């Protein structure tokens, strides 16, 4: 939990994952984020306007986009309230 001393809009919230990799036992690590709560409002990570850079998608692989997933399979981030255009892959 983080409490900011000043007001922050949801568009300024980014959840980053920087510890991907295989453990010593060969088990892959992933990050699952159900969402974030800001000022009493819950925002789903799999909402249509959440941009992610570490999500792997079938037939695409790992590519930035609006994937509507709560998982980061590799190092990357979720950007809430993104202004990215739906259906556009960012490379």
Domain annotation for the chain: domains and CATH numbers: 10-79 (2.60.60.40)
- Bridge partners of residue 15, in order along the sequence: 78
d(CA 9, CA 38): 8
Q: Which is higher by pLDDT, 21 or 37?
A: 37
Name the band, by pLDDT with cuts 50, 70 and 90, for residue 1.
confident
pTM summary value: 0.83
Q: How far apart are CA 84 and CA 50, in angstroms?
A: 9
């Amino acid at each position: 939990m983080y409490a900011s001393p000043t007001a922050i809009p949801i568009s300024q919230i980014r959840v980053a994952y920087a510890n991907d990799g295989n453990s010593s036992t060969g088990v892959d690590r992933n990050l699952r984020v159900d969402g974030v709560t800001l000022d009493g409002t819950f925002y789903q990570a799999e909402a249509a306007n959440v941009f992610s850079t570490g999500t792997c998608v079938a037939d695409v692989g790992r590519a930035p986009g609006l994937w509507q997933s709560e998982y980061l399979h590799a190092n990357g981030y979720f950007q809430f309230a993104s202004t990215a255009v739906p259906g556009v892959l960012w490379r």
